[in-house]
Structures are given as structure tokens and as C-alpha cells.
Structure 1
Amino acid sequence: MKRQLLAAVGVTALLASVAGCGSGGPAKAGPAAADPKDATGTVSVWLMPEAQNNWPELVRSVNGQFAAKYPKVQLKLRYQTWKDKVGNLDAALKDGSAPDVVELGNTETMKYILSGSLAPVDKSTFENSDSWIRGLVNTCTYQDKLFCVPYYAGARVGIYNSAMFQDATGSAEFPKTEDDLRTALDKVQARHRGDRTFSALYLPGPYWYAAMSYVAAYGGAIARFDSSGSWHGTLHDARSQQGIQHFVDLVKTYNHGDLTVNEADQSGVLAKQKAAVLYGNGWEVAGATAPLTGDPKLADSLRQAVMPGPNGKPLPSFIGGSDLAVTAKSPSAELAKDWIRMFTSGKSEQVLADKDTLPNNLTQLEQLKTKAATAAAANAVPDAWFTPLAPGWSAVEKQNVLVGMLDDILGGTSVDAATKDADAAIDKLINTPS
């Protein structure tokens, strides 16, 4: 998931904490020390800017809890940036200076699981683990072993200009079905017929996260694990092709921009009022209304809604979010796991929920399903999809196999031919660790 890039800040602090559980369900005991107050050593933690900027009080609280439980243990906390974290972590793993606890975006986990860089963890020792969001658990699981702990979730939603809808359709509400949405989009487009660059629905052609959501809506998949013990591409399957064709039809019908441009600046398109709807992350509203990157006057008009998909159902979303892991060679692994228990306890996750951030479990997610600011994303999370948890998936992404397929289709190649070529490329890469 795209993140706001902030300057890295290093902070060293003495930490501490109460037992690893708050309310919300039992968890087994933490480190098996005779007396936690006699434990010694250092626990180093790398967190990302969201913790520093959005819930610093949670970090302080957990650090205080940890210090109370382990008064002789020093904790060194450092904030990374999404731009630099992977490079810094790779270097630290290589030279033996890796942190004990590291926050990973859920698309980053498989790389480190497959390289043997993360220590396995016991799911049953973490609070609310019986109701963790399935998509997040999948990002931490390989060969039936858990290598990280879900931290918080994210999901893509429909973001729309309610003033444009009011003007064109007489209603500021977002349609609940795709048929009704298309009817509304046609009216919005007609209202802006004088602007050939205006897109009623701005759906970028290479936006493979969106394209694969339509594949998931039809029951298709990028790739599947077969009985022979190997992954193989399944984009050429009929259901996957249906989803891709559906996506392509929407792009061709409603996106009047350059079809080769990806989704990186779609919030900017919304800010310039060159689009009425986009499919993206909730935080893109902030970019569209920010003083420097967008138009603050749109703050009252831009809203989030569940994106309707085919067959009268919501469009399945890619599961976003972060996980917390203990590095494999940590000399303080049990202490590190206990810090994670505290940071992901029911009490801690409630702090996130109170800030409209999706917690790691379905129990606490429930309260956000009816809250205006979070309902769209919260309702999209339980059925969200994720990329194949395969050894070579990162190579598939790096070689832009899906982007290339979509570019080819929008350039005139048939869906049948392009998906067949994409599957062949996936088959060459997906089973080899990258």
C-alpha cells in the first residue's frame, strides 16, 4: 500500500509494560522468566511513521507497560520511512544489526519469511488471535507456520465527489449497485461533456490492484497452488478472464485520461476535479484536499463509500495494512514477542479503532462498520483478497507481469492472448524464491 513518506527519526528510550493482555480474550503467558523484573538485555524496535504521528500515546503507553514489567531491559525505538525501510532492513540483516521487532507492510512479509529472516510465533499467545482478520493472517503465514502478528488493516473504497453527483443525478448518495453506479456515471459524464479530459470514473489502465479485485469478484485468481505442490498462473481461466474483461470495459467507458498512466497520482486527478469517482485508499482523500497537493475546498464534497462490484455484491478489496515480526537471530526474541503482545493487545487495538484505523481483529472491527468515516473500508476487509503467498511472487511484481498484461489488452491484444502470455510469465517466476 502507498504510504506517506516522512523523514526517518531515531529515538532511544527506556521502555516497559504490564502483562501482555488487556481485555478481549485470553492469551498464554509471555516469556518464561522466573521473575520478569530480573530479565536483562536490550530490545530494539523499528516502527513506521503512522505510529509516530497518529498514535504516539499508544507507543508511550506500551513502552511504559514494558518498563514496569522488565525494569532492567532497555528498549531502543527507531522510526523508519516506507521509502528507506526495506533497504535499511536488508543492510541490517546482512551486517548483524537487525532490530528485534520490525514493522512490515503486508506486501513485504513474504520476502523475509522465505529468506529465513523472521522467527516463528505462537498465534495462541496473542490476544484476539481467534478473530484476527483472515487476510492479515495470510500475509504472515507460510507452510502452516505464523511468522508475524497482524497490527492494523486497510482496504480500498470508492471515493467520490458528492457535489458532482448531486448536480448530475439529484442525489449526493453513492449508488449501492454497479448498475445504478453506471447510470449515475453516465449522467455525471454527460454533465461534463464539454471537458474531454474529464473521467466520471477514473480507473487507470495499469491499476492491477483494481483489476484483480474484479478478478476476485468473479471467483478468479492470479495464481493457485496445485496438488503437485507448485503454483501456476490462472489468469487465463474463464472466471479470471471475466473479471479482467469487466475491468477493461469500465476503463474504456469512463476513463478519458491517458490509459497508460497508473494510479500513483489519482488523488491529484480528483483534486483538480477531473474525475467524479476513483477506487483507492481512504487516505487519498487527505491528498486530494491537502493545501499543497490538492484543493482544501473539496473537503466537504469528497466522501468514501463501498465500491459496488459485479453481481450485486461489493467489490472485493486488496487487504492492506501492517504486521509486526521478530527477526530470526534476535538475542531477545521472547522479550520482543512480549512487546508485540502488548502493542497488539485488545486495549492497544482499541486505541487504533478510536482513531478510525482498522484494528487487526473482527471483534473490534465491528464497531467501525457503522461509523461514517470507516464503514466503507471496515465492511470491505472481511472478504478482502491478497496476492499469492508464493516464493517468486516478488519477481512477478518486479517484472510488472500484470501491468504489462493490462497495457497489452488496452493496446489492442485480446484478453485471451494477453492472459495466456501472463500465465506463462508467472509460471516461470512464481515457484522460484526471489
Structure 2
Amino acid sequence: MTKRQLMATFGIVALTAGLTSCSSAGGPSGDSGSSSAEPANTTGTVTVWLMDDAQKNWPDLVQRVNDDFAAKYPKVTLRLAYQGWADKVGKLDKAIADGNAPDVVELGNTETMKYVLSGALAPVDRTTFDNSDSWIKALANTCTYQDKLWCVPYYAGARVAIYNATAFQQATGSADFPKTETDLTAALDKIAEKNKADRNYSPLYLPGPYWYAAMSYVAAAGGSIAKFDSSGNWHGTLHDPKSQQGIGHFADLVRKYNKADLTVNEQNQYEAMARGRTASFYGNGYEAASVTAPGTGDPTLKDAVKVATMPGPDGKPLPTFIGGSDLAVTAKSPQAALASDWIRMFTSTKSQQALADKDILPNNLTQLNPLKSRPNTAAAANAVPDAWFTPLAPGWGAVEKQKIIPDMLTAILKGKPVDQATKDADAAIDQLINKAS
């Protein structure tokens, strides 16, 4: 069995599933299930599950692709359902078991192995998709198993520092985000002093169960979540000294600078800044837009909210957990060719440029490179080459589902010694990580 490294998706968000029927554009070209009918005469129904990130952040792209699909396949009905990260996997598992799986499904990069190993996905032809020769390697790896491609990279994500430049200017005399952690903590201390009258104000909003952030500090310390040993098995390594060092450092930062409820996760952390409760947080680049967007945030902060590279404790940038999503055709789809063509259109050069124009990292290096010099995307785009990934293990999905690492972090912040908490977490990981979920 070939082993590969997986990546994770953006944090858990609440479900907002809405099913709408609409026509759109795409087309069969060589994938299994290809229709012999001309596009204009092709009939059928294609069901697509997209995560609600698209609904919130690039609905115009979704509509444009759907319109194109409708123009090409006027007799095909497209049913689009938006899903939320919190319970998408449970819904998908049930749909597959019931024989009602969507034709196209968006998967977080850590979810792909589960569905590949279970035979739930159909292979696709890499050569038929735009920019496949320059796909970001780590993204393509999440879709590749035994020399076959089982899904198509959709977009990448890297975490950055998101900060209120005005708050930094007022407290420190500089609107720039510090480049070293020593300078950052000094600035955060000044911000804390300036806002000491507000007991709920967090100089750095760093959620306690935020395992993506915590494991970045583990990576900075030279630790890891798990390793593949010579016996052919994965085993947890959070109890290793370097991993414990990174976890302890993360916990210290949380305790000192996050004045909110330490048990709350990062899913809506942008709200803390939008409500004037923090000067900075560590998040995906697109979360900066959420801070200032009408409806979700405070538009008056538009000129104040900036992004920068998050400094790590070792004098280098904090290693980022590269996120992202893939798009797959389910194995028993009766419309595999149409489903593949919709994905083809949704990941085309034109579509990827639409994402890049919204400061979302595209799936390929050709379109990523210009973002490395753009102020709003430079920090995230430049972080991609050195990003870290979750273990490539059959049971990794189960480890995430059981929330072993977030629960470990919460226990530590409630007073459980790091040594015991990491030992217990490793034992729990070892029970799941080698079993296909």
C-alpha cells in the first residue's frame, strides 16, 4: 500500500446546507461514464456538494460555472447543495451507504484517503484538467494513490497573521506586524497594557482547541503528530520532547494573550476582531475579508486590517499548516463524465484566476506565483513551499473525527500536565491511525 502525505482543510464551521436546483455548464471528455449523446442532447441530473466557503466567499464563481454548464448541457439538471465542515463527513457517509451519494463532492484534503481506500471515489484523467502539470505538489498528492488520480485539487490555504494595524500603531508606535516572536510578544504586552480596562480584550486571539496552530508550533520545535516506523505502522509522537515543547509553547501563548473562553475553537475567530475584541489572530488569509465584510464583520475596519507572516519561536516564520480542498467524482455516479466536466470547468484556468483575484490560493504554481508579491497574499503564498501536512495514514480521518488533538489541548489548558496529556493523546491516536476508517 502506497503511503502519501495528506493536508487538512480549513477549520470546522457550522452547517448551512441548502439544496437548490439550477442549470449550468461542463462536459464529458473521456472519463468513465461518458455519454455518447451530443452535449445539447445529453440528459440527466448532476448533484454537486460544495462546502459553504464557496457560498460565502465566491458565489459569483459558482454561478458563472453553473451558467456555462447550462449553456453546454441545456437538458441536464444541476442540483447544488452547500455543506458545512462540521457534519459533512457524516452526511456523506450516510448518502454513500444509502446509495444517494452526490456525483461531485468537495473533500478537505485530510478526508480524501478515507474515501479512496473505501472505494468511494472514481478515478479521473489528470491530463484533461487545466494546469495539471503545475499543480501544487502537496495538493496533487492528496488526490494521488497507487499512481491514479482520485480527485482534482481545488484551492490551497495557508495561515497567516491577521492584525489591526491601527491597534498596533496606537499601542506600539508602529503599524507594522513584528517580524520576530520576541518583538511580537513585546508588542502584544504593550497592547495588553493599553487595553487593560477591558478584561475581555485579547492582544492575540489564539483559541485553545486550535490544533492547526498548535501543531504549527510543534513543527517549529522539530516535533510531529505521528511517524511511520520500520515495522510498517504509524504511531503518535506528541509525547516526544520536541512535540511537547511546541505544545507547551502554544499553551503558554494562549494563556497569556487570549482573554476569551479558552474552550472555544477557531471557527469564527474573525468575529473577535470585527467586534473590537482583539488586535491579532492566526488564520487563513481569507478570514481577513470576513473581518471587514458587510454582514459578517465591520466594514469600517477595511483600511486597518492587514495580513503578515506569523513569526515562530525559532527566529523563523511559523510553519503553516497548508489547507485546501479537492473535488471528486463518487464511484457509483451514473453521470461520471458530466460530473468530471463540471469539475473541469470549476477548476479551469479562468476559475482559478477568479479565486486568485479574491486572494484565495489557486491550485497551481503558475497562478500562485503572482500572489507571492501581492500585499494581501504574499504571506500565505510564500508559506506554501515550507508548509507541513497531516500524517498520511489510513485512520487519520478517524483521529480528526474523534477530536483527539483539540481535546488534548483543552485538557492542558484546564490544568492537565503536558506530559500526561500528550501521552494519553498518543495512546488514543495509536488505537485509530492504522485502521482504515
- Alpha-carbon distance, 1:235 to partner: 0.9
Q: State which drifts further: 359-368 or 74-83.
A: 74-83
1:94 aligns with 2:68: no
Q: How many Å separate the matches in 2 of 1:10 and 1:298?
A: 34
Map 1:10-409; keep pairs closer than 5 Å: 10-13=20-23, 15-16=25-26, 40=42, 42=44, 44-48=46-50, 49-51=52-54, 54-55=57-58, 58-59=61-62, 62=65, 74-82=76-84, 85-142=88-145, 145-289=148-292, 294-409=297-412
Structure 1 residues 336 and 290: CA distance shift in structure 2, 3 A: closer
Distance change >3 Å, CA 193–CA 390, structure 1 → 2: same
Q: Distance in 1 between matches of 2:419 and 2:247?
A: 10
Amino acid at match of 2:82: Q
Structure 2 letter corresponding to 1:79? A
1:9 counterpart = 2:53: no
Partners in 2 of 1:276 and 1:14 — Cα distance?
43
SS in 1 for 2:400: helix
Contact 2:26 2:344 survives alignment (8 Å): no
For the 8 Å contact 2:218–2:224, the answer to whether it is kept is yes
Alpha-carbon separation, structure 1, partners of 2:104 and 2:268: 32
Q: Counterpart amino acid of 1:397?
A: E
Q: Which residue of 1 aligns with 2:4?
A: none
* Distance (Å, rounded) in 1 between the aligned partners of 2:424 and 2:91: 36
Q: CA deviation at 1:133?
A: 2.0
Deviation at 1:317, TM superposition (A): 2.0
Shift, 1:61, TM fit: 5.2
Whether the aligned pair in 1 keeps the contact of 2:154 and 2:327 (CA below 8 Å) is yes
Match of 1:417 in 2: 420
| Count of paired positions | 424
Contact 1:123 1:129 in 2 (8 A): yes
Secondary structure at the aligned position of 1:220 is classed as coil
Amino acid at match of 1:385: W
Identity %: 63
Residue 80 of structure 1 aligns with an amino acid whose one-letter code is Y
Contact in 2 for aligned 1:15/1:73 (Cα 8 Å): no
Higher mean C-alpha deviation, range 301-310 or range 128-137? 128-137
Q: C-alpha displacement at 1:33, in angstroms?
A: 7.8
3-state SS of the aligned residue for 1:80? strand
Counterpart-to-counterpart distance in 2, 1:50 and 1:360: 16
The farther-off stretch of 60-69 and 220-229 is 60-69
Kept after mapping to 1: 8 A contact 2:26/2:341 = no
User: Which amino acid in 2 is paired with 1:424?
Assistant: A
Asked if the contact 2:286/2:360 (under 8 Å) is kept, the reply is no
Identify unmatched segments of 5+ residues in structure 2: 1-9
Gapped regions of structure 1 (runs ≥ 5): 21-28
TM (norm. structure 2) is 0.85
Deviation at 1:222, TM superposition (A): 0.8
Q: 1:343 offset after TM fit, Å?
A: 2.5
Query: What is the TM-score when the length of structure 1 is the normalising length?
Result: 0.85
Cα contact 2:244–2:419 (8 A) shared by 1: yes
Structure 1 residues 5 and 290: CA distance shift in structure 2, 3 A: farther
Distance 2:78 2:181 in 1: 50
Distance between the aligned counterparts of 1:78 and 1:9, measured in 2?
Answer: 6
Going from structure 1 to structure 2, the CA distance change for 1:290 and 1:351 (only over 3 Å counts) comes to: closer
Supply the RMSD in Å over aligned alpha carbons.
3.1
Mapped to 2, the partners of 1:37 and 1:298 lie a distance apart of 48
Are 1:218 and 1:243, in contact at CA under 8 Å, matched by a contact in 2?
A: yes
Answering whether residue 434 of structure 2 is matched by residue 431 of structure 1, we say yes
Cα distance in structure 2, aligned partners of 1:343 and 1:77: 15
Q: Distance in 1 between matches of 2:356 and 2:132?
A: 16
The answer to whether the 8 Å contact 1:52/1:79 transfers is no
Q: Comparing 391-400 with 317-326, which one deviates more in the overlay?
A: 391-400
